[in-house]
Amino acid sequence: MAGRALQVYPAMKLRQAQTSATYILPDPGELDKRVTIRLRVDEPDDDFGVSPTYPDEIRTWAKMAQPGAAAYQGSVQTENTVTHYFTIRWRRNITADHEVVCDGQSYRIRRVRDLNSKRRFLLLECEELGTDRGAGYAEQSIFTR
C-alpha cells in the first residue's frame, strides 16, 4: 500500500435540470407553405344545427411537418390526435379555436406552443379535418357512404 498513489477524480459539474424540451428554430427558407389561419365560430342554423363562420383570417408562411409514429400513437391514445405540426412566426391570440388551411386541407389546432419561450416562433399542433370543398364533395366516396 505504501507505493500506491491516491487516484483523484475531476469534480463533477453541477447543472440545472432541464424542465422542457429545447426546439431547433426553423432555418431561413423552411417556412415555405402559404397557409390561412382562421378563427372558427359556430353559429346557430335555422334547422337547429350550427354553421361555421370565419370572422378573422390571417395569411402567413409556415413550415409543415408530420409527427413520428411514436408521437402520433401517443396522441391517439390520449384522444388528442395530432397529425401535423405547423411552425409560424410568433403572433398573439392564436388559440385552439382557430383552424389552419393549407393546400385545401383544414386542420384543427389542438395546442399552441411558443418555441423555446422566445416569442419568435409558434408551434401549432393540429389534427387533419379534411378538405374544404363544401357540401356534396365526394358524395359517392366509400368513406362517406
The total domain count for the chain is 1
Look up the CATH number of the domain holding residue 118: 2.40.10.270
pLDDT tens digits, one per residue of 103-122: 999 999 999 999 888 999 99
Please report which helix (H) or strand (E) contains residue 52, including its range.
strand 50-65
- Is 10 part of any domain? no
Q: Which domain holds residue 119?
A: 33-131
Note the pLDDT of residue 28.
Answer: 81
- Is 143 part of any domain? no
- Is 126 part of any domain? yes
- Is 18 part of any domain? no
Judged on CB neighbours under 10 Å (0-12, 13-18, 19+), 98 is: buried
pLDDT tens digits, one per residue of 9-26: 665 565 665 556 677 888
- Is 7 part of any domain? no
- Is 73 part of any domain? yes
